[in-house]
Amino acid sequence: MSGMDTITPLAPGTSTRSPPPRVRRISGLSDRAVVWLFIAPTMFLLLAINIFPLIWAIRLSFTGFMANLPRPLGFIGIDNYVDILTDEDIWTNFQVTAHFVFWTIVLQVLIGLALALLINQKFRGHSFWTTVILLPMMLSPAVVGNFWTLLLQPQIGPFNYFIGFFTGAAPSSFTMIGSVSLAPWTIVMVNTWMWTPYVMLICLAGLRSIPEYIYEAAEVDRASSLRQFWSITLPMVTPFLMLAVLFQAIQSFEMFDLVNLLTSGGPGSTTELVSITLKRAAFEKWQTGYASALAVILFVTVFGAANIYVKLLNKVKQQ
Amino acid sequence: MSDAPSHRPFSEPAPILRWLAGVIVVTYALVSVLPIAWIGMTAFKSQSDAIAYPPKVFFTPTLEGFVDLFTVQTHQPHDFIVKLPPPTSWYEKLARDHDKVIAGPSRVIERFVNSIIIGFGSTLLATFLGTLAAYGFSRFKVPLADDLMFFILSTRMMPPIAVAVPIYMMYRYLNLYDTRIGMILLYTAVNVSLAVWLLKGFIDEIPREYEEAALIDGYTRLQAFRKVVLPQAVTGIAATAIFCLIFSWNEYAFNLLLTNSEAQTMPPFIPFIIGEGGQNWPAVAAGTTLFLAPIFVFTIALRKHLLRGITFGAVRK
């Protein structure tokens, strides 16, 4: 590691105004040793438990290996990729996932931003109610998925009664989980319920970052409140909103736990997200090679999309 | 909960608007905690109340759900129950009221213990490693620092299911499958990325002058780190630790795929709390309530740092 030679103690940073004094130490480890000692364990752990498996998965994706059979790897080239990309069912799963991600994001952004704007009116007790609203996102998604199955039971669950009370529909006349047309919306609804607070919290930070004098200047110019919203609030909040969307899009795209317990992909495959397909291929059908190829596709998609998005985000920030 | 002093003399909302905003937000808050409250209520229902049609809002509370959660019971004929010596505890009496006899403790306690050991173990390790690495990145010129930091972040972007297959094979090979130590290492690896990012932010905010003064006074770098930086980073370290703990506590996918009994934690276990003829909802709800309770405490404790934690330190208030 010849690059290590460039390590100097304390380059002037944001908090130092004058260059740091050169310090001679009589005993103790050199700074170079300290930095190595401090960073290496983390790097080693990440390489062993994240990168090594990833590389292995890439290797496996070119084989017909099945983890439950004691067989050699058996390289089959890009067959797995060809199989996946020409499989109608997989495309259906990607469509289901896209529907889920898209509507989750739309609803989260609309409701989250609206809530943030309302909370920013600083009514009495707003900080207490903000904390109450945050609760769902702190819970375990798996446990949330599980307990919503009780709430959504058409007969014994309270949800259908709640809806019936407001719409007049008979509570047992519809089933949120068992119906082909409703189930894709059910997973959107529960995920939105859980993660809207996330978007709200980030939007709230965005709103609070807007300096007051901008609004004061706008008042002096007699700009209407609507005008102020469109030309001050919204543009200033957009970078924050985009960050929230990035995190939520990645998370929804990789969604497994909540939906696995809520609908386990059913009825039929109407809520079968890609990660549920992946789990089934890997741990139920034991098509390890095939599942690895799907995993690589999933990872490349997330990583590629995230990279493009971050570039976009940086452009917006600069404006 | 007093009102913050008004900062915007010009754009101060009209009282009626402020009141309306309050009403809408409070309504949303109440509706959104309703599902959680319902589960909390179900934990104290009897089995027949829990599956009543229509759903019951008012009911006589009972601890049946909790007794069912923590014990294994067997059904016995009523004649047999009557002949038994009188029950020695309240929970035994509760079981006998339903013609059941307690055969022993259930496995839920082991799962809770696993959740606690794996949660705290991985939190300690991730926070420890994260603090060291964050200090390294914050105070020294590390070659390719930006790339390394991005690499650390990107490990978190991997879908758990995508890496689960090779990790499963690796763990089988290393005999780490279904072991607590295996789960601790895995959760540490997932958490350390968050820990490094958050803690780097916190340590960046500590002025370097303190350490420099200590170094001039003859402290070694390690001493300065231990006696000057650590005490000042305590709040940040605590907040980071709670975030790691919440992740490990809530995690489901890895635990589902990499354990089957010995190292299973609560999230994959809760859906399998089954009674006779389907799910025993009061027992499931009791387990869920006990499992979620610590999270409420953490959320309140973390209020000030929540934003940082959920955005990897990208947004700071």
Note the pLDDT of residue A25: 47
Residues of A in contact with B21 (CB under 8 A): 118-119, 121, 123
- Is A119's CB within 8 Å of B168's CB? no
| CA dist., res. B113 & res. B121, Å (int) | 12
Looking at domain A79-318, which CATH architecture does it have? Answer: Orthogonal Bundle (1.10)
- Is B136's CB within 8 Å of A126's CB? no
Top residue of B42, B124, B140 to mutate, by most chain A CBs within 10 Å, is B140
Q: Which of B117, B118, B115, B153 has the alpha carbon at shortest distance from B134?
A: B153
pLDDT tier, A162 (very low <50, low <70, confident <90, very high otherwise): confident
Mean pLDDT of A245-253: 92
pLDDT tier, A26 (very low <50, low <70, confident <90, very high otherwise): very low
When the pLDDT of each residue in chain A is averaged and rounded to a whole number, the result is 86
- Is B135's CB within 8 Å of A38's CB? yes
Parse chain B into domains and list their residue ranges.
Answer: 109-269
- Is A138's CB within 8 Å of B168's CB? no
Q: Provide the shortest C-alpha distance from residue A181 to chain B (in Å).
A: 23
| CA dist., res. B308 & res. B317, Å (int) | 8
Note the pLDDT of residue A23: 47
Note the pLDDT of residue A28: 64
Place of tokens 């929230």: A244
Residues of B in contact with A65 (CB under 8 A): none
CB-CB: which of B25, B154, B288 is closest to A143? B288
Q: Are A42 and B129 in contact (CB under 8 A)?
A: yes
Parse chain A into domains and list their residue ranges.
Answer: 2-12+23-60, 79-318
Q: Which of A42, A52, A35 has the alpha carbon at shortest distance from B125?
A: A42
What is the 3-state secondary structure of chain B?
Answer: CCCCCCCCCCCCCCHHHHHHHHHHHHHHHHHHHHHHHHHHHHCCCCHHHHCCCCCCCCCCCCCHHHHHHHEEEEECCHHHHHHCCCCCCHHHHHHHCCCEEEEEECCHHHHHHHHHHHHHHHHHHHHHHHHHHHHHHHHECCCCHHHHHHHHHHHHHCCHHHHHHHHHHHHHHCCCCCCHHHHHHHHHHHHHHHHHHHHHHHHHCCCHHHHHHHHHCCCCHHHHHHHHHHHHHHHHHHHHHHHHHHHHHHCCHHHHHHCCCCCCCHHHHHHHCECCCCECHHHHHHHHHHHHHHHHHHHHHHHHHHHHHHCCCCCCC
| CA dist., res. B23 & res. B27, Å (int) | 6
Q: What global pTM score does this model have?
A: 0.87
- Is B292's CB within 8 Å of A140's CB? yes
A16 CB burial (10 A radius; 0-12, 13-18, 19+):
middle
Q: Which of B311, B33, B200 has the alpha carbon at shortest distance from A202?
A: B311
Segment B271-302, tens digit of pLDDT: 888 765 567 889 999 999 999 999 988 888 88
Residues of B in contact with A198 (CB under 8 A): 310
Positive or negative CA dihedral for A297, A303, A306, A308? negative
Q: Provide the shortest C-alpha distance from residue B86 to chain A (in Å).
A: 35
CATH no. of B109-269: 1.10.3720.10
Give Cβ neighbours of residue A82 (< 8 Å, ≥ 6 apart).
Answer: none
Tell me, rounded to whole angstroms, the distance of Cα B307 from its chain centroid.
Answer: 17
Segment A28-65, tens digit of pLDDT: 678 788 888 899 999 999 999 988 998 998 998 998 88
In this predicted complex, what is the ipTM? 0.87
- Is A143's CB within 8 Å of B137's CB? no
- Is B291's CB within 8 Å of A298's CB? no
Mean pLDDT of A148-175: 87
> Would you give per-residue pLDDT tens digits along chain B (317 residues)?
444 444 444 456 678 888 999 999 999 999 999 999 999 999 999 888 888 878 888 888 888 889 888 988 877 888 888 888 888 888 888 888 777 888 888 889 999 999 999 999 999 999 999 999 999 999 888 888 888 888 888 888 788 888 888 899 899 999 999 999 999 999 999 999 999 999 999 999 999 998 889 989 888 888 889 999 999 999 899 999 999 999 999 999 999 999 988 999 999 999 888 765 567 889 999 999 999 999 988 888 888 888 888 888 777 76
B14 CB burial (10 A radius; 0-12, 13-18, 19+):
exposed
Residue B266: both structure tokens together: 């609560």
